[in-house]
């Protein structure tokens, strides 16, 4: 099979940090079809050779094990081309068309790794130039808008030029092996399914903690915030994977239909619920991994008076038969104590206690997403005290480490997603109605938080976030996993 991958934003941050390394890994693993061209598009005045040199220099920042040797790069670079384009000029699309028609590839991928305000014009121009043929796939990177209205506008513009089956909306969390394992756990095994409901589960917690700050993206982040950056997409996709009904097949729409039902079952926010169950925070200076780091307002590109949240903790309520009364707690933040993404499924306590031990840390399933990928099942066992007829039990856990079982060099999220685009597999991409439902749910929070900082809580970099997040969950009688 032959392909042409046209990379709009070809000299941008995403292209060299994620996409080129992922394409190279696929090339190295022999999974990238050999008959392919990767055409970088940007306004810069570069020739093919200069573009190749630029990409090669950028590979110097990639982990050593993922960096090409000079010979490997030479072979990979044969796929790389560059075309200068001003995305608003019709003539430039004409030149792109000429280049694509030099050889008619089986699949043409238009990857929009540009600022989202260019999505609409790019789609219009591609269609006007006749570059929306049925063998064309279009890939859209987040953020797809900054609220429901702007998201709809983009989706409508895309819809005017491409059919939904041609549109690949990326949420890179869906490409992570650990997230695919979540689907495998739920729908490849029957063991947990009878337990996976309100009768047996007391609450579910989703944590996506980052120890990094905003790095070089201060200006972007300051107009975005954690709710848009992480909750509207990654966290809600995890929530869907946990809460959805088993799909009737592994087909993309069968999966996406079930995820959509979850998003539509989320109880809408009321002002009272926002007050009690939506916590936002912003990090101050602190210590991360033994190093002093500045507070958010002192980061480059961030306004010294910024009210943007770098931390969010929420209680989501899913109003359906399976989950009525089971709170889903979601939290995410920058500059937290560790890079740690995990899910905790807390099962209900035994209905009648014959042992003295409170259930405490046991009776839960922990799904580790990153940096490690694995499962831990926490149980209680009769431990060392058995000689004394003690009625107290000891917490123990079964530990399944997928990294050591399958090797930590598994296919990365972007590599997997790029290959899926080329192969035309939509399972791990987000449909427009899912995206709109997610925006609809977060929008009351965006409105409530806009232009006011009354409830913005500070937290020290290197902590687990504002104490209000602990107080919120404690009011329901629960605690975050690191607290109990």
- Residue 288, both tokens: 């991360």
Q: How many amino acids of this chain bind ligand BG6 (CB under 6 A)?
A: 2
Decide whether 4 or 210 has the Cβ nearer to ligand BG6.
Answer: 210
Decide whether 209 or 393 has the Cβ nearer to ligand BG6.
Answer: 209
Decide whether 210 or 373 has the Cβ nearer to ligand BG6.
Answer: 210
Least Å from the CB of residue 229 to ligand BG6: 5
Residues recognised as catalytic: 234
Decide whether 229 or 434 has the Cβ nearer to ligand BG6.
Answer: 229
Across the beta sheet with 136-140, the strand order is 80-84, 35-42, 2-8, 107-112, 136-140, 167-169
DSSP for 294-307 reads --GGGSTTS-TT--
- Residue 287, both tokens: 């210590």
Least Å from the CB of residue 316 to ligand BG6: 19
Q: Write the binding mask 157 to 196 for ligand BG6: x where contact by CB under 6 A, - elsewhere.
A: ----------------------------------------
How far is CA 2 from its chain centroid? 29
Nearest to ligand BG6 by Cβ — which residue?
A: 229
Selected from 222, 229, 415, 434, the binder of ligand BG6 by CB under 6 A is 229
Across the beta sheet with 394-401, the strand order is 394-401, 374-381, 364-370, 340-347, 201-209, 327-333, 311-317, 278-284, 456-460
Distance (Å) of CA 130 to CA 3, 86, 90, 100, 284 = 18, 17, 11, 11, 51
Contacts of 473 (CB under 8 A, 6+ apart): 205, 313, 315, 329, 479, 480
- Residue 396 CB coordination number (10 Å): 14
CA pair distance 269, 280, nearest whole angstrom: 15
Site for ligand BG6 in 449-468 (CB under 6 A): none
Least Å from the CB of residue 299 to ligand BG6: 13
Q: Judging by DSSP bridges, how do beta strands 136-140 and 167-169 pair with one another?
A: parallel
Least Å from the CB of residue 85 to ligand BG6: 25
Distance (Å) of CA 202 to CA 34, 225, 315, 369 = 51, 30, 13, 21
Decide whether 229 or 373 has the Cβ nearer to ligand BG6.
Answer: 229
Site for ligand BG6 in 85-144 (CB under 6 A): none
Least Å from the CB of residue 297 to ligand BG6: 18
Decide whether 210 or 299 has the Cβ nearer to ligand BG6.
Answer: 210
Selected from 92, 210, 222, 443, the binder of ligand BG6 by CB under 6 A is 210
Least Å from the CB of residue 221 to ligand BG6: 7
Query: In a 3-state reduction of DSSP, which class is residue 198?
Result: coil
Residue ranges in contact with ligand BG6 by CB under 6 A = 210, 229
């Amino acid at each position: 099979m032959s392909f042409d991958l046209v990379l709009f934003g070809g000299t941008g941050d995403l292209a060299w940090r994620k996409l080129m390394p992922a394409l190279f890994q696929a090339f190295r693993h022999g999974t990238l079809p050999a008959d392919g061209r990767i055409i970088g598009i940007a306004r810069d005045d570069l020739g093919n050779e200069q573009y190749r040199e630029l990409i090669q220099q950028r590979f110097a920042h990639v982990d050593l094990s993922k960096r090409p040797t000079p010979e490997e790069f030479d072979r990979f670079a044969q796929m790389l081309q560059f075309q200068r384009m001003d995305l608003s000029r019709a003539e430039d699309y004409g030149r792109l068309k000429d280049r694509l028609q030099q050889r008619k590839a089986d699949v043409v991928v238009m990857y929009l790794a540009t600022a989202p305000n260019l999505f609409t014009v790019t789609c219009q121009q591609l269609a006007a130039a006749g570059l929306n043929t049925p063998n064309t796939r279009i890939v859209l990177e987040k953020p797809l808008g900054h609220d429901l209205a702007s998201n709809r506008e983009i989706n409508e513009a895309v819809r005017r030029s491409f059919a939904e089956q041609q549109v690949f909306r990326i949420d890179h969390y869906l490409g992570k092996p650990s997230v695919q394992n979540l689907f495998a756990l739920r729908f490849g095994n029957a063991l947990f399914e009878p337990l996976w409901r309100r009768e047996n589960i007391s609450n579910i917690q989703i944590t996506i903690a980052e120890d990094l700050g905003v790095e070089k993206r201060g200006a972007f982040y300051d107009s975005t915030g954690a709710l848009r950056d992480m909750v509207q997409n990654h966290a809600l996709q995890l929530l869907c994977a946990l809460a959805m009904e088993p799909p009737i097949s592994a087909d993309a729409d069968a999966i996406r239909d079930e995820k959509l039902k979850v998003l539509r079952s989320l109880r809408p926010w009321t002002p009272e619920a926002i007050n009690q169950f939506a916590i936002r925070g912003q990090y101050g200076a602190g210590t991360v991994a033994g190093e002093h780091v500045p507070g958010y307002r002192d980061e480059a590109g961030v306004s010294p008076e910024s009210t943007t949240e770098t931390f969010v903790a929420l209680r989501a309520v899913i109003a359906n038969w399976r989950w009525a009364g089971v709170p889903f707690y979601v939290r995410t933040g920058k500059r937290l104590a560790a890079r740690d993404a995990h899910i905790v499924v807390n099962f209900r306590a035994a209905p009648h206690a014959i042992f003295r031990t409170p259930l405490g840390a046991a009776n839960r399933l922990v799904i580790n997403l990153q940096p490690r990928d694995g499962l831990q099942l926490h149980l209680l066992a009769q431990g060392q005290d058995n000689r004394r007829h003690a009625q107290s039990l000891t917490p123990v856990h079964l530990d399944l480490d997928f990294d050591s079982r399958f090797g930590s060099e598994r296919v990365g999220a972007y590599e997997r997603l790029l290959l899926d685009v080329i192969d035309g597999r939509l399972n791990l991409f987000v449909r427009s109605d899912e995206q709109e439902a997610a925006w609809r749910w977060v929008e009351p929070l965006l409105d409530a938080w806009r232009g006011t900082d009354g409830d913005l809580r500070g937290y020290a970099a290197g902590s687990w976030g504002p104490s209000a997040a602990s107080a919120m969950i404690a009011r329901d009688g629960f605690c975050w996993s690191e607290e109990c």
